[in-house]
Amino acid sequence: MRRGSLCCRADLVRAMAGADPSVVDSLAEMLGFVVAPENVSNPVELVDKVDGTAAPSAIATWPAAVISREESEIQERPLVETPFWSLVGYETVSKEGVSKPRSVPLSEVDWRNRPTEPPKIRLLAPWRELQPRLRRVLAGLRDSEEVDLDRTIGRISRGRLLERFPRKSRRRWGPRLLIVIDRSEHLVPYWTDQDHVRGHLARLLTSQDLEQAVFYEGLTEPRILGVSPESSVFRPLPGGVVLVLGDLACLTSQGSREDNPWLELGQRIVAAGSCPVALLPCPISRCPAILRRSWRLIPWERPRSASVTEASLLRQRAERLLRLVSYSVRIEPGLLRAVRLSLGSDEADAGTESDVWQHSAVSSTHSEAATLDPKRARELRAALATALAEKSEDVQVHKRALQLLREWRADLPKEIWLNEVLHLPESSQDDLSVKADLEDARALFASVCDLLESGGDSHRDHAIRAWFFRVRERVPESFWNDPVIGRRVLVTDYLLHRDVPGYSPPVAFDPALAGVSWLRVDSVTFSRL
């Protein structure tokens, strides 16, 4: 503080209002004030000897002495010994009477009826079916090494001179092919199909005849792979073929707009003397006419029925498929494909998978699996239960979807399926293949509840607690009403959250019915409710 400031005087006045005169003397001396003679009649009118200002009026309230101020001189004095704490070591000291929380072991619960066969990945089209369709477009007639005897005899019989023997023409791949892999986010369900086709074409063509490029969100044109950034500019080669493994944005709202990058790209390819070809993962009828003028289109999947282009019907198809997989904690592209193919040929097409991936209920579209928003997932499950009750949804279709879901859990951690099986409605849990899994699921959650109620503090305990919190956000109301494990899980949830401000149980719950005697959380022991 600046010497003589109002802050200094305020500190002095505050000290004078106290009851210890020694504090006033020390503070006054430190701030440059001295005790005036006691025979001064009017101390309030005393002025500062340095700047001529009046002394604080509050000095008059101090009966012991009158204070004035003069220029202070710095005097060298020994420093007062000041005690302070310094950490030199530490040790754990347990509080008497309070035992450290003990982590109970997690009971090993096995999924006894786990499927033995891994799930089968269904492609949009196997290579043996797709190869002839691609060959008609990508391959051309070229002379082979074999002499064409019919043409040779025909020329000789007409008296024509043979400069060289004519060769038989064979249809061959190439000569130049540029593959563009569209890795846009809405095409994640088809990434495995893209890799499958690209691998087969790479084995058919030499590295000199094959180039590869990639396209994804944020780019205005594809980037050539395996070259320097300066050489990655997209330049179609004259006389070659540009094959796009993608939808040309047909499955998005950008498909028919003028700002669609594939529209201008197709025109550039044609102007360069190349042939633009697109292998569409949807019916050709879903591609706008403005794109068909430049691109040659090949349907990836064999048409199953008359295609639908009306937006409302496409949305209904996507929502129905999404309801059938809404009991999944994670929706793998392969699972979505399998459930879609289990429907009738006129109930979904290949493009429906992308429509689901772009649905507003999907919160994450990771390449491994998509996840649903917990609130929207509960709404979809309720809508499916209503449709099954009203018989507007075929029960057999629903059971087939659950069977596929169970098959796709064969190679995953058991906790995923044993969590999902508790999401199912009672009508689905009565299935014989599910009843045994339901017992394993209840045993797993009973073991988790034992561990969480022990109040353990290890890394494993924190991980299991975090998993439990994620599970509780996704489960439907029927989970908490399970006749065997519902009440137990509800008690555990209450005990973990009852000290959290604003917590309310997921369903109506009387804490007096908890039926536990104690719970330790962070070294605090809670007694019976």
Which residue in 259, 264, 281, 276 sits closest to 355, CA to CA? 281
SS3 268: helix
Is pLDDT above 90 for 128? yes
Mean pLDDT for 269-276 is 92
- Over residues 191-216, the pLDDT tens digits come to 999 999 999 999 988 888 889 999 99
Q: State the pLDDT at residue 54.
A: 45
Is pLDDT above 70 for 92? no
Q: CA 369 → CA 109, 240, 330, 354, 424, distances in Å?
A: 25, 36, 6, 13, 20
Q: State the pLDDT at residue 145.
A: 73
Q: State the pLDDT at residue 222.
A: 92
- Over residues 291-349, the pLDDT tens digits come to 998 999 999 998 877 678 888 999 999 999 999 999 999 999 999 999 999 998 889 99
Q: Is 234 left (phi over 0), alpha (psi -120 to 50) or beta?
A: beta
Mean pLDDT for 405-427 is 89
Burial class (CB in 10 A: 0-12, 13-18, 19+), 256: middle
SS3 370: strand
Mean pLDDT for 276-295 is 92
Q: State the pLDDT at residue 296.
A: 93
Strand-pairing partners, residue 166, are none
Query: Bigger pLDDT: 87 or 403?
Result: 403
Contact 82, 412 (CB under 8 A): no
User: DSSP 3-state helix, strand, coil percentages of the chain (rounded to 5)?
Assistant: 40, 15, 45
Is pLDDT above 60 for 74? yes
> Do you find a cis peptide bond into 115, omega within 30 degrees of 0?
no
* pTM higher than the cut 0.85: no
Query: Bigger pLDDT: 511 or 16?
Result: 16
HEC profile of 330-346: CECHHHHHHHHHCCCCC
Q: State the pLDDT at residue 521.
A: 39
Query: Bigger pLDDT: 184 or 157?
Result: 184
**CA–CA distance, 510 with 494 (Å, rounded to integer):** 10
Contact 213, 246 (CB under 8 A): no
Structure tokens at 390: 């009203």
Percent of the residues in the chain that have a pLDDT greater than 90, as a whole number: 33
Structure tokens at 29: 């001396």
Q: State the pLDDT at residue 513.
A: 60
Q: pLDDT band for 486, please (50, 70, 90 cuts).
A: confident
Which residue in 312, 326, 315 sits closest to 387, CA to CA? 326
Enumerate the H helices of 185-342 as residue ranges.
191-204, 261-271, 289-292, 311-324, 333-341
- Over residues 215-267, the pLDDT tens digits come to 998 888 899 888 777 767 788 888 889 999 999 999 998 888 888 899 999 99
Instruction: For the chain, give every domain's residue range.
Output: 6-69, 127-299, 425-529
Q: State the pLDDT at residue 515.
A: 52
**CA–CA distance, 149 with 158 (Å, rounded to integer):** 14
Q: State the pLDDT at residue 81.
A: 67
Q: State the pLDDT at residue 105.
A: 59
Q: State the pLDDT at residue 106.
A: 60
Arithmetic mean of pLDDT over the chain: 80
Which one of 3.30.1490, 3.40.630, 1.10.287, 3.40.50 gives the CATH number of domain 127-299? 3.40.50
Q: State the pLDDT at residue 408.
A: 95
Strands 210-215 and 223-224: antiparallel
Structure tokens at 159: 């008296």
Q: pLDDT band for 281, please (50, 70, 90 cuts).
A: very high
Is pLDDT above 70 for 407? yes
Contact 447, 141 (CB under 8 A): no
Q: Is 251 left (phi over 0), alpha (psi -120 to 50) or beta?
A: alpha
Residue with tokens 């090993």: 108
Structure tokens at 16: 């004078």
Strands 66-69 and 362-365: unpaired
Strands 275-280 and 296-299: parallel
Q: Which range among 76-80, 161-165, 232-236, 461-465 has the greatest average pLDDT?
A: 461-465
The 10 Å CB-count burial string (b at 16+, else e) for 223-244 is: bbeeeeeeebebebbeebbbbb
Q: State the pLDDT at residue 36.
A: 62
Largest CA distance in the chain: 151
**CA–CA distance, 39 with 65 (Å, rounded to integer):** 10
The 10 Å CB-count burial string (b at 16+, else e) for 274-289 is: bbbbbbbbbbeebbbe
Q: pLDDT band for 503, please (50, 70, 90 cuts).
A: confident
Q: State the pLDDT at residue 371.
A: 94
Is pLDDT above 90 for 353? yes
With the C-alpha atoms ordered 131, 133, 135, 141, is the resulting torsion angle positive or negative?
positive
Structure tokens at 310: 């009306």
Q: pLDDT band for 35, please (50, 70, 90 cuts).
A: low
Q: State the pLDDT at residue 80.
A: 65
Q: State the pLDDT at residue 104.
A: 54
Burial class (CB in 10 A: 0-12, 13-18, 19+), 371: middle
**CA–CA distance, 29 with 49 (Å, rounded to integer):** 15
Out of 105-109, 110-114, 465-469, least confident range? 105-109
Is pLDDT above 50 for 57? no
**CA–CA distance, 139 with 275 (Å, rounded to integer):** 12
Helical (H) or strand (E) element with 279 = strand 275-280
Q: State the pLDDT at residue 523.
A: 39
Q: Which long-range contacts (CB under 8 A, 24 or more apart) does 132-139 make?
A: 133/298, 134/197, 134/243, 134/279, 134/298, 135/171, 135/173, 137/241, 137/275, 137/277, 137/296, 137/298, 138/173, 138/174, 138/177, 138/241, 138/243, 138/277, 139/171, 139/172, 139/173, 139/174
Helical (H) or strand (E) element with 374 = helix 374-389
Mean pLDDT for 158-175 is 76
Transcribe 27-60 into DSSP letters: HHHHHTEEEEPTT-S-GGG-B-TTT-PBPPGGGG
Q: State the pLDDT at residue 400.
A: 92
Is pLDDT above 70 for 64? no
Q: State the pLDDT at residue 314.
A: 93
